[in-house]
């Protein structure tokens, strides 16, 4: 179904045989609300045991009440709430969707995470001392999915011994703020399909996506996009591509890409399908979408307007979209950023996390 992008500068960090994935869900995602709720599960998807005392993860948010002290609460943890540690860090330079993060970690008594194992559920809340309202929907790590089902997230970043191993840290300029970065830059996935990490420092893009039909299975994968230039320099759209990663449910049947509408002109949208020589988790194919030179450039603070797309097999055989890395499960049909659609400038990965093996 749908895809979305957002573009920042990131660099790949790989831990030889260590690999962690984080999933989250919310059991209350009202906004505004007096508390920011988030439940987590961490998975060891690598081949080595990881001491939990070396692991931290961050929930990035805008503190709506900076004059009122913040409180972190662990309501339940399979490893024991007494073994959950936390600290709040205010960013010297706010970024888009965040001026603060809660860093959550583990004591030595939490033990280790073996390959294939997970921490079990960790239920958390963040609130102010006086329970003033927080506007969670403005936050980078806010969980908007109303299904309340655990799913991989890349807006929660994970670290081993302080090194980023999963997720994408926020970047960009907040409304009325200055451009900055919230910590150690990095990327949470292997760059396993032709993207090289890096970016020009003055370049910053954000693409949002939504689905207007996220049934699964369905004969068509729907995705609508908007790409925003949040940087300081104009970007030729002909240098920009982005990828929707999926498992092709019908590998013997040709795939078809259709652009139903684009404000820059559907005839200026290009596409190509790439079958991966080595399938990745939740993806053996991606559709790479780009722009012709006639699409022009994207000036600072401008956006492309809506781009409506479809992917389907030539015989309209069903695709099981819910099994796909870039699938958009959010039923609100509202544009939101995602990092499971990856973006590139001149072939260089500038936003998102590519799927891992």
- For position 255, what pLDDT does the model report? 93
Q: What is the DSSP string of 131-189?
A: ---B-GGGSTT----TT---EE-SSEEEEETTEEEES----SPPTT------SS---SS
- Name which residue leads in pLDDT, 205 or 72: 72
- Assess whether pLDDT exceeds 70 at residue 240: yes
How does pLDDT run across 43-95, given as a tens digit for each residue?
A: 998 889 999 999 999 999 999 888 889 999 999 999 999 999 998 999 888 88
For the chain, which domains are there? 20-166 (2.60.40.710), 196-351 (2.60.40.710)
CB 210 within 8 A of CB 333: yes
- For position 224, what pLDDT does the model report? 92
- Name which residue leads in pLDDT, 286 or 148: 286
Q: Is the preceding omega at residue 329 within 30 degrees of 0, hence cis?
A: no
Distance CA 323, CA 320 (A): 6
- Assess whether pLDDT exceeds 90 at residue 173: no
Per the prediction, the chain carries an average pLDDT of 81
- Assess whether pLDDT exceeds 50 at residue 318: yes
% of the chain at pLDDT higher than 70: 85
- For position 157, what pLDDT does the model report? 93
Q: If pLDDT is split at 50, 70 and 90, which confidence band does 18 have?
A: low
Mean pLDDT of 180-199: 31
- For position 203, what pLDDT does the model report? 59
- Assess whether pLDDT exceeds 90 at residue 1: no
How does pLDDT run across 106-132, given as a tens digit for each residue?
A: 999 999 999 999 999 999 999 988 898
């Amino acid at each position: 179904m749908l895809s979305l992008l957002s573009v920042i500068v990131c660099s790949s960090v790989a831990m030889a045989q260590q690999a962690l994935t984080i999933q989250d869900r919310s059991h209350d995602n009202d906004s505004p609300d007096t508390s920011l709720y988030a439940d987590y599960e961490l998975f060891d998807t690598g081949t080595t045991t990881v001491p939990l005392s070396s692991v931290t993860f961050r929930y990035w948010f805008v503190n709506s009440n900076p004059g009122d002290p913040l409180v972190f609460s662990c309501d339940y943890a399979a490893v024991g709430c007494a073994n959950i540690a936390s600290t709040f860090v205010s960013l010297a330079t706010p970024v888009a969707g965040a001026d603060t993060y809660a860093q959550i970690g583990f004591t030595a008594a939490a033990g280790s995470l073996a390959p294939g194992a997970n921490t079990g559920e960790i239920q958390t809340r963040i609130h102010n001392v006086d329970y003033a309202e927080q506007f969670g929907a403005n936050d980078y790590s806010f969980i908007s999915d109303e299904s309340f089902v655990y799913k991989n997230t890349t807006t929660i970043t994970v670290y081993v011994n302080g090194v980023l191993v999963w997720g994408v840290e926020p970047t960009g300029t907040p409304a009325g703020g200055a451009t900055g970065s919230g910590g150690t830059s990095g990327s949470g996935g292997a760059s396993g399909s032709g993207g090289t990490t890096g970016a020009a420092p003055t370049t910053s893009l954000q693409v949002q996506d939504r689905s207007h039909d996220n049934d699964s299975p369905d004969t068509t994968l729907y995705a609508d996009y908007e790409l925003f230039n949040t940087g300081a320099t104009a970007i030729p759209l002909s240098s920009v591509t982005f990828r929707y990663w999926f498992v092709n449910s019908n590998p013997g049947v040709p795939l078809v890409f259709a652009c139903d509408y684009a404000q820059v002109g559907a005839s200026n949208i290009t596409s190509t399908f790439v079958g991966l020589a080595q399938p990745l988790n939740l993806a053996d194919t991606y559709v790479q979408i780009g722009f012709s030179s006639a699409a022009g450039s994207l000036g600072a603070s401008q956006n492309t307007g809506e781009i409506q797309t479809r992917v389907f097999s030539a015989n309209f055989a069903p695709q099981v979209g819910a099994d796909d890395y870039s699938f958009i499960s959010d039923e609100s049909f509202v544009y939101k950023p995602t990092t499971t659609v990856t973006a590139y400038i001149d072939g260089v990965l500038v936003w998102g996390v590519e799927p891992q093996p």
